[in-house]
Amino acid sequence: MTPEIRAYLGGGIGSGKSTAAAVFASWGAEVFSADRAGHAVLAPGGPAAEAVARCWPGVMVAGRVDRDALARIVFSDAAARRRLEEITHPAIREALAAQVAGAGSEVILVEMPLPVDLLGPGWRWVVVDAPDEVRLTRLVARGLTAPEASARMAAQPSRADWLARADLVVDNGAGPEHLEAECRRAWQVMASWRSPAAGGSP
């Protein structure tokens, strides 16, 4: 089946994109995760594991990439982060393309941790948005300290970066009922993308 609606589902850390993804999945969307694909390509034997080990030997522990150790390096070093993306993005792209090719739904969403076009033309952006102070509060509630949460947010694309990508914004600055209403509105907008009069299928 060729999906009629294809979109990246993105947003900064703490924005709630995974929660929104679960809502959309409950309505029939097939959701794939670039982050999960990233875990797979760094697993032992994965297509990016060996190159990462060559670049940063210290992150290998018992034959596995220690993702926490790798994150500490790339969060504080923009050049290292770009190098990691150069290594991992082609493998993630290949994995996601294979998943999308085998999808059985008319609505395909790929959850993205970065505002990067991985899959070529024809993909729109649905961005889950929340104010920075709300995101910070959520991250602290997950167990990070406020300085740790702030550092992670600072190391990632800004809220403005995400909004600049958006074809459609889902506001998640309030509670669960508000998010569900916003997802319902977004679902209706995405349905209109099927129509050539509304811009054609993504």
- Tell me the pLDDT tens digit for each residue of 151-175: 889 888 999 999 999 999 999 999 9
- CATH (residue range 1-29+107-196): 3.40.50.300
Check if 1-29+107-196 and 36-104 are the same fold: yes
Q: 36-104 sits in which CATH class?
A: alpha beta
- Tell me the pLDDT tens digit for each residue of 110-126: 999 999 999 988 899 99
Give domain limits for the chain. 1-29+107-196, 36-104
- Quote the distance between the C-alpha of residue 19 and its chain's center: 12
